[in-house]
Structure 1
Amino acid sequence: MVRESDGRPQEQDELRRKAPRRGGLREEGRLDDRLAEQEEFSRRTLAAADFPVYGVEGADPDGDALAAFETANGELRWVEVRSGDWTSPAGPYITVRTYRPGTEYQDPLPELEDVVEDERDRVYEQLGIDEGDCPGRVRALREWITVDGEPRAVEVHEDRRALWAGPDATASGSGPVWAGRLWVDGLTVVVCGRGVPPGAVELARIGDFERYLLGRTDLLRRLAARRGRSIPVEERELTPAVGLEAHREVIHQTIAESAAMEAQVRAGRTPRLPRALRGETGLLRWEAAVRQQMRLASETREEAVAAVTTMVNHLNRLSRQTQWVVGTPEGAAAVEEVIRYTVFASEVASLPAQRAWEQLWRDRPGGSGWEEHRLGEQLWLSAWEQWRAARSGR
């Protein structure tokens, strides 16, 4: 499967952190070459589209851009275009995604609540504004969007917080956000709007993609320029860590991230990292832990990254498999022993559990195939239970 996108983050199943890497291509000539290649690839792909693709009728052409598309087995599955001012949280800003007929029978289409959350993710990633989480399911049963001059009924999910508060809904000046799904001659079309009501949207079939392709290239160049102005985390001056505090902080953040995503799954929502836990804070904590690991354990950067990765995955997985890691004295003791073993290779009381995890981590499968290693996992968990029993004097 190939997906061209505007750089929105993708969540991963198993935590596999790595040290922050230098982003983007610094030399303008190389960036232009890369963007030209992407533009030509997109041009060829869209030229072969065998289903109509819709965009906003009468929008400012300067605000039009190809947002993303996806292909599977050589077949174009959907195309998304955007119109409006992407730099303004107040809008007006609209995205339109057109699905190939029958796509909904191959894979479930995204819930409208998730489409709104994707838009909030975009604003957070591209503008640095956290608008908070989307509320629960709120559907307006009768809304209309004009398509090729004719009104079409559309099912809409609205962020009613913004609608109640008016066009300047939050301190950031964000406009109301909504997402709607409609059907046009066998096609499924999903529209997301910011700062403009559904009734004011007019869609029409796109006859020429050229301005959308050029708009995408301009958008990517501007995003690259913004990112290029930031100093990579590994090159920044950081306040020196005290003792093992950096290790503790990165562990606590990792466990909080995992718990937040699991809570979303239990609530029936698509798991995604809460925006409050994203951003540079986590990267800076990670970098501080790696530097402290290098200093205290006399390791190279590569060795320190591997050690911290193993450590955070150990405690993250333990917190998911047990009920005692978070908020208990024995959980705090386990954290301290894992850290001391990671940094100093100490002969901690939980040494059998540490070694069992090392073996489990070395033999870990790719993707979500941990079930195949259930025996090794049970040995590891059993070692921790024996440690707990010894601590309590049982």
Structure 2
Amino acid sequence: MRRDMMRESGSRPQDPDDRYAGQEAFSRRTIAEADFPVFGVGRFACPVTADRLLRARAAEDAPLHSEALAAFESCDGELSWVEVRSGDWTSADGPYLSVRTYRPGAEHGDPLPELEDVVEDERDRLYEQLGIDEGDGPGVVRALREWITVEGEPRALQIHEDRRPEAVPGAGLAAGPLLDAGAVWAGRLRVDGLTVTVCGRGVPPGAVELARIEDFERYILGRTELMRRLAARRGQDVPVEERELAPAVGLEAHRELIEHNIAESMAIDAQVRARRTPRLPRRLRGEVGAVRWEAAVRQQMRLASETREEAAEAVAAMVNHLTRLARNTDWAVGTPDGRDAVEEVVRYTVFASEVPSLPAQRAWEQLWQGGPDRTAEDGPGGAARRLAEQVWLSAWEQWRLERSIR
């Protein structure tokens, strides 16, 4: 079980103070059961970095607590790792660091995250908390050997550094220490049998000293303050279902939603094929998809005279139909056949039109109505689902053949 301290939500309305108090109590109980030391930032050894953090703390809107418990994960009732964060989370320039300590032997279980993914997690945090999109995928990457201090002792640290090209001055990269502008780095080291992963921005490893955390209280309170500030930033957000959206024109809301979801699906599939951790591009995250979904559902209700529940189910079937078609064929995206298939699926969804691809539409209905496991390939009914999928794909191929001879 992973408990991400930045994304918790209750299952029912609750007073914020009660919710935060409950989360603090849960964190205290969990951390008290840790049977391994947890490391955090003991101090910023570099005077310049320390001065930057002091100025950030003194700023009007800066957090009072620069340390926060970020997340932890348990498996079979045993704490697997703990992550804490230190520095100025309100700025893309930092200084900001996260330190994750794994229990002994963790490296022999599930693979630890690649350092490239640790860097992307930090860029995700910046996007989710501040709305700053630093772009997807690797930028200008270097593997460097640096030094970091652990309880007074210098330790060698092999790091992965990633800078966005626009942050790199000139055409080339000169050998030397980390540059602050646009750089995010991650490194991993062993400390007394423990694996520790460190990620930073706006501060080089040599400016940091790690130390065992003896008292977690300031991290727990810092986490509460961080969540309060994030909630205040988002407090004026109105749920998308309650917003007044721009009037939809014709079937455009359906088309835009389909385009968005196919882009999501294709991006994830491309990352899986490249053996990268599946990660939705940031330009497709946030509320853009939710707004497009809401617009399509409202237009479906209006044009098809359906209830909200009926419209939501119809839109879900439509989106899944075309995203699955895109995954299973090489013509559904970027071809005339693909564009016409979208139009026919949309018209069938909204108006139940007698479109030329009607056999494929009805075959999809049979496949989609297969229940909660309608997309599963294994288990009970797997053979029937595979047969239904073949019937559906064959119907689309027949549609294409008939188009080609007309």
- Aligned to 1:71, the other structure's residue is in SS state strand
CA contact (8 A) 1:65 1:214 kept: yes
CA contact (8 A) 1:324 1:331 kept: yes
Q: TM-score, normalized by length of structure 1?
A: 0.89
Residue 101 (structure 1) aligned with residue 86 (structure 2): no
Matches within 5 A, 1:102-117: 102-117=105-120
* Matching residue of 1:125: 128
Q: How far off is 1:364 after superposition?
A: 5.0
Matches within 5 A, 1:33-182: 33-58=18-43, 62-135=65-138, 138-161=141-164, 164-165=168-169, 169=181, 175-182=182-189
Q: How far off is 1:389 after superposition?
A: 1.6
Residue 374 (structure 1) aligned with residue 381 (structure 2): no
Q: How far off is 1:362 after superposition?
A: 2.1
Q: How far does the alpha carbon of each residue in 1:119-166 deviate from its partner, in whole angstroms, 9 at most, with x for none?
A: 111111110110112426844342111111111111201014477349
- Aligned to 2:84, the other structure's residue is in SS state strand
Identity %: 72
Structure-2 separation of matches of 1:133 and 1:331:
27
Q: How far off is 1:81 after superposition?
A: 0.1
Q: How far off is 1:232 after superposition?
A: 1.5
CA contact (8 A) 1:246 1:288 kept: yes
> Whose RCO is larger (CA < 8 A, sep 6+)?
1
- Unaligned ranges ≥5, structure 2: 45-52, 54-63, 170-177
CA contact (8 A) 1:116 1:134 kept: no
Structure-2 separation of matches of 1:367 and 1:69:
34
For 1:57, the aligned partner's letter is G
Q: How far does the alpha carbon of each residue in 1:167-194 deviate from its partner, in whole angstroms, 9 at most, with x for none?
A: 673xxxxx42111111111111100001
For 1:204, the aligned partner's letter is A
Structure-1 separation of matches of 2:309 and 2:92:
40
Q: How far off is 1:266 after superposition?
A: 2.3
CA contact (8 A) 1:113 1:137 kept: no
Structure-2 separation of matches of 1:365 and 1:270:
26
For 1:4, the aligned partner's letter is D
Structure-2 separation of matches of 1:2 and 1:115:
16
* Matching residue of 2:3: 3
Structure-1 separation of matches of 2:374 and 2:131:
31
What is the root-mean-square deviation of aligned Cα atoms in Å? 2.3
- Unaligned ranges ≥5, structure 1: 9-22, 170-174
For 1:347, the aligned partner's letter is E
CA contact (8 A) 2:144 2:160 kept: no
CA contact (8 A) 2:142 2:162 kept: no
Length, aligned pairs only: 374
Using the TM superposition, name which of 35-44 and 157-166 deviates more: 157-166
Using the TM superposition, name which of 380-389 and 49-58 deviates more: 380-389
Shift in CA distance, 238/136, structure 1 to aligned 2, threshold 3 Å? closer
Matches within 5 A, 1:147-226: 147-161=150-164, 164-165=168-169, 169=181, 175-226=182-233
Structure-1 separation of matches of 2:355 and 2:5:
47
- Aligned to 1:109, the other structure's residue is in SS state coil
* Matching residue of 2:56: none
- Aligned to 1:369, the other structure's residue is in SS state coil
For 1:93, the aligned partner's letter is Y
Larger radius of gyration: 2
Using the TM superposition, name which of 186-195 and 156-165 deviates more: 156-165
